[in-house]
């Protein structure tokens, strides 16, 4: 039943019972972790054949490149061709480089700040300051990157179709606003996929800054868990159609496809933006790790192979997301003190508790041996103005550990909510 409907006497009784239950939970000395949005060991095993590929005697790419040697700044053509479809970027406009898309995002922002991007009259900070739009809740590392580089962050609420576009269009009329962070598919942490209308408006909108960029972090492009994948509109084509061919920077990686940290990252954009980035790369390296790219191209030779491989990931992930939902629903359903997302892909669940309770829930859980991502993490500067949103990551623990962690978490949420209600 709705906890808010309990009388003061009923609340007091409930609080006593919950405190007893919580003390018993604490006494168990658990050590569980719901913070890590990374693949589990079972998922990493799916890519074992990649690590076993006999590359020593067969290191020549399809175009005759000896992958043991320097060169090939844009990345192996066959790997770019395999990921062109999944990332919705023509292979010739796709760059395969390094092992981390976050690093590519960092590079792009640094280069924009130091030099400007195609279409800039000056480096970003020299044209009236630099701010980025940050849909919230969002990915903490995007925000940490901005904070580090001194870029102001302006929050925009996420809706179930993507960022609130009325707000985005209003704020983009300020010349200081140089870009927006987007995780357009199975978003971190809400799981939302942007609607076609949202993508069209992002592509078409007027921006005061002529060098405005959409940072299209498509980290979960092929990470659906449901029967049917959620379609995402093609941002690069739409931007080009609406007369803003250079507006979108697309990012992706195989971090959550093959091996996290030892995969391959991608950047896709207009020819002008690709030339711009390669021009900067050329000053810091003679080429990427083509042997790793070759292994990836052989393991995942085309888009159907990528999708078949991701279906195996989905089989491992789906039961975990279902279990998390079932455990939360069993204890908190109908109480009116928690709501959470049920994503059809990606790695996270976003959970809202009553205003002012998120920090308390994290504390209670930590004291009971259950690590949660700090309250506020999905907001710029780590500050959730309502102190109510928590990001849960069910991928890494085993089903058994997840069951224990989710049950303990649900108890902590109920306890924090009843404490608050009882306090009036």
Maximum separation of any 2 CA atoms in the chain, in Å: 79
Cα 287 from Cα 163, distance rounded (Å): 36
Closer to ligand PLP by Cβ: residue 107 or 174: 107
Closer to ligand PLP by Cβ: residue 101 or 190: 101
Note whether 219 binds ligand PLP by CB under 6 A. yes
Specify the DSSP element, H or E, that contains 390.
Answer: strand 389-392
Please, what is the minimum distance in Å from the beta carbon of residue 386 to ligand PLP? Answer: 22
Output the CA torsion sign for 364, 366, 372, 374.
positive
Cα 140 from Cα 143, distance rounded (Å): 5
Listed ranges 13-21, 24-32, 100-108, 123-131: which one lies at the site for ligand PLP (CB under 6 A): 100-108
Closer to ligand PLP by Cβ: residue 182 or 421: 182
Q: Which positions from 256 through 275 interact with ligand PLP, judged by CB under 6 A?
A: 265
Please, what is the minimum distance in Å from the beta carbon of residue 106 to ligand PLP? Answer: 9
Contact 326, 166 (CB under 8 A): no
Note whether 183 binds ligand PLP by CB under 6 A. yes
Nearest Cα residue to 277 out of 250, 241, 252: 250
Closer to ligand PLP by Cβ: residue 183 or 411: 183
Output the CA torsion sign for 150, 156, 159, 163.
negative
Contact 185, 218 (CB under 8 A): yes
Q: Where are the beta strands (DSSP E) in 101-227?
A: 131-136, 152-159, 162-163, 177-182, 213-217
Note whether 181 binds ligand PLP by CB under 6 A. no
Cα 349 from Cα 347, distance rounded (Å): 7
Cα 360 from Cα 371, distance rounded (Å): 13
Cα 130 from Cα 120, distance rounded (Å): 12
Please, what is the minimum distance in Å from the beta carbon of residue 96 to ligand PLP? Answer: 12
Cα 113 from Cα 5, distance rounded (Å): 53
Contact 65, 310 (CB under 8 A): no
Note whether 143 binds ligand PLP by CB under 6 A. no
Note whether 140 binds ligand PLP by CB under 6 A. no
Closer to ligand PLP by Cβ: residue 211 or 217: 217
Note whether 102 binds ligand PLP by CB under 6 A. yes
Closer to ligand PLP by Cβ: residue 120 or 258: 258
Residue from 188, 195, 270, 373 that binds ligand PLP (CB under 6 A)? 188
Listed ranges 99-107, 162-170, 281-289, 404-412: which one lies at the site for ligand PLP (CB under 6 A): 99-107
Contact 368, 30 (CB under 8 A): yes
Q: What's the token pair of residue 17?
A: 């019972």
Note whether 255 binds ligand PLP by CB under 6 A. yes
- Residue 52: CB atoms within 10 A of its CB come to 10
Closer to ligand PLP by Cβ: residue 87 or 265: 265
Specify the DSSP element, H or E, that contains 268.
Answer: strand 265-268
Please, what is the minimum distance in Å from the beta carbon of residue 221 to ligand PLP? Answer: 11
Residue from 101, 258, 269, 395 that binds ligand PLP (CB under 6 A)? 101
Closer to ligand PLP by Cβ: residue 124 or 143: 143
Closer to ligand PLP by Cβ: residue 189 or 245: 189
Listed ranges 58-66, 94-102, 154-162, 285-293: which one lies at the site for ligand PLP (CB under 6 A): 94-102
Contact 419, 11 (CB under 8 A): no
Q: Which positions from 387 through 416 interact with ligand PLP, judged by CB under 6 A?
A: none
Residue from 83, 139, 186, 299 that binds ligand PLP (CB under 6 A)? 139
Specify the DSSP element, H or E, that contains 352.
Answer: strand 349-352
Closer to ligand PLP by Cβ: residue 101 or 155: 101
Note whether 192 binds ligand PLP by CB under 6 A. no
Binding site for ligand PLP (CB under 6 A): 37, 100-102, 139, 183, 188, 217, 219, 253, 255, 265
């Amino acid at each position: 039943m709705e906890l808010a409907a309990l009388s003061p006497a009923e609340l007091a009784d409930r609080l006593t019972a919950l405190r007893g239950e919580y003390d018993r939970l604490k006494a168990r000395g658990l050590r569980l972790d719901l913070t890590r949005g990374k693949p589990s060991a079972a998922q990493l095993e799916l890519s074992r054949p990649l690590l076993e590929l006999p590359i020593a005697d067969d290191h020549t790419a399809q175009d005759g490149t000896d992958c043991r040697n320097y060169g090939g700044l844009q990345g192996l053509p066959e790997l770019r061709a395999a990921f062109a479809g999944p990332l919705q970027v023509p292979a010739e406009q796709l760059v395969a480089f390094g092992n981390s898309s976050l690093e590519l995002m960092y590079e792009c922002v640094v280069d924009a700040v130091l030099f400007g991007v195609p279409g800039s009259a000056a480096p970003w900070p020299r044209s009236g300051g630099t701010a980025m739009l940050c849909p919230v809740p969002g990915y903490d590392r995007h925000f940490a990157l901005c904070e580090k580089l001194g870029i102001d962050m302006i929050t925009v609420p996420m809706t179930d179709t993507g960022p609130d576009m009325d707000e985005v269009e209003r704020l983009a009329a300020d010349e200081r606003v140089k870009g927006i962070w987007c995780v357009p598919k199975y978003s971190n942490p809400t799981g939302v996929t942007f609607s076609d209308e949202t993508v069209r408006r992002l592509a078409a909108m007027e921006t005061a800054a002529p060098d405005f960029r959409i940072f299209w972090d498509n980290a979960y492009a092929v990470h659906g868990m449901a029967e049917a994948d959620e379609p995402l509109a093609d941002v690069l084509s739409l931007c080009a159609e609406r007369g803003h061919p250079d507006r979108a920077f697309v990012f992706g990686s195989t971090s959550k496809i093959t091996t996290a940290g030892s995969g391959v990252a991608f950047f896709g954009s207009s020819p002008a933006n690709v030339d711009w980035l390669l021009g900067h790369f050329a000053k810091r390296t003679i080429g990427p790790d083509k042997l790793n790219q070759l292994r990836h191209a052989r393991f995942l030779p085309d888009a159907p192979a990528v999708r078949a491989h991701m279906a195996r990931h989905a089989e491992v992930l789906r039961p975990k997301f279902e279990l998390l939902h079932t455990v939360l629903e069993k204890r908190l359903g109908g109480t009116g003190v928690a709501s959470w997302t049920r994503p059809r892909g990606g790695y996270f669940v976003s959970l809202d508790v009553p205003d002012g309770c998120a920090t308390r829930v994290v504390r209670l859980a930590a004291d009971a041996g259950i690590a949660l991502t700090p309250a506020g993490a999905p907001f710029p500067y780590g500050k959730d103005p309502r102190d109510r949103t928590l990001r849960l990551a069910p991928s890494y623990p085993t089903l058994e550990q997840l069951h224990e962690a989710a049950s303990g978490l649900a108890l902590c949420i109920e306890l924090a909510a009843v404490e608050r209600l009882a306090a009036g």
